[in-house]
Amino acid sequence: MWSFFARDPIKDFNYEILPENQEKSGIWTLSRGKRKTTGEPVSVFMYEVSQGTEEQTQLAKAAFKRTKTLRHPNILSYVDGLETEKSLYIVTEPVTTLAAHLKLQAEKGGASDLEVSWGLHQIVKALSFLVNDCHLNHNNLGMWAVFVDRAGEWKLGGLDHVTSDQGDSTSLPPPKVISPDLERYDPPESPGNGGDKWTGDVWRLGCLIWEVFNGSLPRASSLRSLGKIPKQLVPHYCELVGANPKIRPNPARFLLNCRPPGGFMNNSFVESCLFLEEIQIKEPAEKQQFFQDLSENLDSFPEVFCKHKVLPQLLTAFEFGNAGAVVLTPLFKVGKYLSAEEYQQKIIPVIVKMFSSTDRAMRIRLLQQMEQFIQYLNEAAVNSQIFPHVVHGFTDTNPAIREQTVKSMLLLAPKLNETNLNQELMRHFARLQARDDQGPIRCNTTVCLGKIAPYLNAGLRQRVLISAFSRATKDPFPASRAAGVLGFAATHQYYSVAESANRILPTLCTLTVDPDKNVRDQAFKAIKSFLSKLETVSEDPSKLAEIEKDVTASAQTGGSAATWAGWAVTGVSSLTSKLIRNAPAGSETPPAENSPVPQPAAGPVPTNTASKGVQQDRSYVSCQRLHPVLSSAQEGVRLASDYKWDGAEGKSATSDLFILVFRKYRKCISNNHAFTPSGLSKAELAKKKREERRKELEAKRAERKAAKGPLKLGARKLD
């Protein structure tokens, strides 16, 4: 029982002290530690009573008291503590000494002026708090009393010698009594001989500034040599170490002197840090503007500051501050500094939540920047939490969102499961390809399908691609027809020889008389490619198995489709942009569900007479310069039932249709030279004349009837 009351309190201490990387800090030993229950990292300042003198023990107890009671953002944060007869433990936030931090920065090329300016700003602000608000003197300011946290922010510590400027009941020994080497940091005047209460602390502040830029101070006289101190800081530094104590400025005054335009502490980094410290009380408009400007400045900020200071504020602003889409750009920029594990823990949960947002600006920013975070998303999260929200973009009334949703499928397709990829996605692609009123979106849908073809189910792929690309070749938008042709060429390995001969070649042949020359050129190239394939098998039937080896190949996994993606960039991308600019009026109308081969327009319509629908489409197309069609970073298809693939009867009917269309165009070419000067074929021109003749006859009948006048009551019509 007595052993229970006599147990060592250190064993019940809630923190584990790690023996490695211990540093000496005055009378204290600084060690790394962690909380036993959560593993949270901390720093532990230890003092052993048995190894110190009576004066040192007195200072340790005074420091324990001051650290526990003084609370300020720029003063070392107290977490926990333990005081026994044998030892004292002060647990703080994880920090390292300033000397160790600067040494590490020197190995990387040296600390930047931005980082030092903010660090000194924090120390001077903490000193001003002690002097002006708490009426205390630090009496121990120096490199050994400054610590740096994980975000690279400087914190004031070393509170061993803090005294009240109104007099203490107990006197503490000065630093030079404990360590004679510290005498060179004492001001030249005698204690209490002239000057204000802060004169000693601001003198030591000048010594700290000298050591930050020039290394350890060898002697007090070295302060006259400026060394590497920046020019903007020199006049204010000279005031700190002036021989006359009466001209040394108050710490608060020193901050103001360094903050005018062009001053050492007036830069984007300090301004951003000050805003982040007061972000909770800022107006929403100010926050929006700040986050918009932040992404431009992040490249010059220290990496650790971005990770541990900026990132938490961005996450908080999105979670509780309704910052919206404006935080996405800086968020993804900071995310580059994180490891894969940190990215999963901190950013992925936020991204998943963002996809459920109804904010259109948020959704389109996420889709545009998906390439930056897609590699961190696992398949389970994509299929259950992200894809169900993304597909709403296919039916959005905003064309830009529909376009970005289509492009995002290039990145999501490798992670989609069987149902989402081969059924849900194909259903949306089929609707876009058949009914969307924007030509570029129909074109992008076709191109996207061609690029995700390797991921489709092998049993469904051949039928999906043939029907989808065939539909694209009948689209009134020239770039969509070109995309259909190039889609066939890019996925040629997925078609059997029989399908190539019976379905693909007849479809391509109809495009050899397309009104657009670029489409005709692409069609001829594709036809030659397929004919070469058929000739190879015809000459050597044994090569059939090798040529058709990919027809029934299993769907590929992520990343395998990128090797052939260049066809869209080099072929359709330039072609599409050119065709969009030169598209004739009326060519942007959406295709019908079962639209026939597009008829050539009678001629280009002047821009000022274009219909409202065409003007809207052109205004949308102009936006493609920001997000080019078929971009290299992000480059539908209907289900089998939608395309009537099931059954031999449907296949036969489709084949007969292709034969009829092919014969019709072959007859046009041989008899009518394809097209008349007006742009119409001879058959179409004859039909047009018959229609005009019929209207003339109806008009003449109406004139004769009007000339006879109305019938009289009881009269009988004789003619």
202 lies in the same domain as 243: yes
- pLDDT exceeds 90 at position 405: yes
Which structure tokens are listed for 162? Answer: 């803090």
- Give the mean model confidence (pLDDT) for residues 300-318: 87
**Closest residue by Cα to residue 523 from 502, 533, 535, 509:** 509
Model confidence at 316: pLDDT above 80: yes
pLDDT over 80 (residue 270) = yes
Given 94, 121, 155, the domain boundary residue is 94
Out of 78-82, 185-189, 503-507, pick the least confident.
185-189
CATH number of the domain bearing residue 179 = 1.10.510.10
Q: How far is it, in rounded angstroms, from Cα 657 to Cα 659?
A: 5
Measured between alpha carbons, how far is 382 from 530 in angstroms, rounded to an integer? 37
Determine the pLDDT at residue 78. 94
Amino acid at 572: V
Whether 255 and 140 share a structural domain = yes
Which pLDDT value is given to residue 688? 81
- Host domain of residue 29: 15-94
Place of tokens 């823990």: 345
- In 3D, which of 643, 368, 658, 317 has the Cα closest to residue 502? 658
Same domain? For 102 and 114 the reply is: yes
Contact 23, 29 (CB under 8 A): yes
Q: Which residue has the higher pLDDT, 190 or 466?
A: 466
Structural contact between residues 314 and 331, judged by C-beta atoms closer than 8 angstroms: yes
Beta bridge mates, 32: 43
Looking at the predicted structure, is the pLDDT value of residue 99 above 60? yes
580: left (phi over 0), alpha (psi -120 to 50) or beta: alpha
Structural domain total, the chain: 2
CA distance 374 to 328: 14
Same domain membership, residue 144 and residue 248: yes
CB atoms under 10 Å from CB of 31, counted, come to 18
Residue 658 lies in a domain: no
In this structure, is residue 168 part of a structural domain?
Answer: yes
37's CB contacts (< 8 A; 6+ apart) are: 14
In a domain, 199, yes or no: yes
Looking at the fold, whether 108 and 256 belong to one and the same domain comes out as yes
Asked whether residue 72 falls in the same domain as residue 120, the answer is no
Cα gap 408→371, rounded to integer Å = 9
Q: What is the pLDDT of residue 551?
A: 83
Distance CA 459, CA 552 (A): 7
Per-residue confidence band for 168, with pLDDT thresholds at 50, 70 and 90? low
Count of Cβ atoms closer than 10 Å to residue 380 Cβ: 10
Based on the fold, state whether residues 121 and 264 are members of the same structural domain.
yes
Residue 692 domain-assigned? no
Considering the chain, what is the average pLDDT of its residues?
78
Residue (of 6, 351, 284, 305) closest to 152 by Cα position: 305
What's the N-to-C CA distance of the chain in angstroms? 133
Q: Which residue has better confidence, 556 or 607?
A: 556
β-pair type (41-48, 87-92): antiparallel
CA-nearest of 317, 401, 303 to 358 is: 401
Q: Are 72 and 206 in the same domain?
A: no
How far is C-alpha 105 from the geometric centre of its chain's CA atoms?
29
Q: Where are the alpha helices (DSSP H) in 517-642?
A: 517-539, 544-547, 566-567, 574-582, 612-622
pLDDT digits 0-9 by tens, 429-457: 999 998 899 999 999 999 999 999 999 98
Asked, for residue 685, whether it belongs to a domain, the answer is no
pLDDT at residue 129 greater than cutoff 50: yes
Task: Verify that 144 and 190 share a domain, yes or no.
Answer: yes
Cβ-based neighbour number of residue 216 at 10 Å: 9
Q: Is residue 202 part of a domain?
A: yes
User: How is 422-458 classified by DSSP, letter by letter?
Assistant: IIIIHHHHHHHHHH-S-HHHHHHHHHHHHHHGGGS-H
| Cβ proximity of 27 and 47 under 8 Å | yes
Q: What is the CATH number of the domain that holds 67?
A: 3.30.200.20
Picking from 268, 291, 311, the residue at the C-terminal end of a domain is 268
Under the banding of pLDDT at 50, 70 and 90, the label for residue 414 is very high
- CA-closest candidate to residue 191, choices 208, 169, 206, 172: 172
CA–CA gap between residue 22 and residue 557 (Å, rounded)? 49
Contact 454, 556 (CB under 8 A): yes
Helices 439-452 & 478-490, crossing angle to 10 degrees? 0
Least confident span in 109-113, 220-224, 590-594, 628-632: 628-632
pLDDT at 50: 86
In sequence order, the 6+-apart residues with CB closer than 8 A to the CB of 662 are: 506, 509, 510
Sign for the pseudo-dihedral over CA of 235, 146, 107, 266: negative
Same-domain pairing of 149 and 232: yes
Helix (H, G, I), strand (E, B) or coil at 33: strand
Cα–Cα distance, 312 to 332 (Å, whole number)? 13
In a domain, 82, yes or no: yes
Asked whether the beta carbons of 323 and 317 are under 8 A apart, the reply is: yes
- What is the per-residue pLDDT for 708? 62
- Compute the C-alpha angle 142/100/257, nearest 5°: 45
Does residue 437 lie within any of the structural domains?
A: no
How far apart are the C-alpha atoms of 151 and 305, rounded to whole Å? 4
Assign 411 a pLDDT band (cuts: 50, 70, 90).
Answer: very high
Position 199 pLDDT exceeds 80: yes
Q: Are residues 90 and 101 in the same domain?
A: no
- 219 and 264 belong to one structural domain: yes
Using the predicted structure, report yes or no on whether residue 21 has a pLDDT greater than 50. yes
Confidence of residue 710 (pLDDT cuts 50, 70, 90): low
Q: What is the pLDDT of residue 554?
A: 67
Per-residue DSSP letter, 250:
P
Q: What is the mean pLDDT of residues 315-325?
A: 74
Q: What is the reported pLDDT for 383?
A: 92
Nearest 5 degrees, angle CA 692-CA 694-CA 695? 65
Classify residue 195 by its DSSP letter. Answer: S
Q: What is the mean pLDDT of residues 217-239?
A: 91
Mark which of 244, 268, 292 sits at the end of a domain.
268
Q: What percentage of the chain carries pLDDT values higher than 70?
A: 77
Q: How many CA atoms does the CB half-sphere of 68 hold within 13 Å?
A: 13
Which tokens sit at 292? 């918009």
Over residues 345-358, mean pLDDT: 86
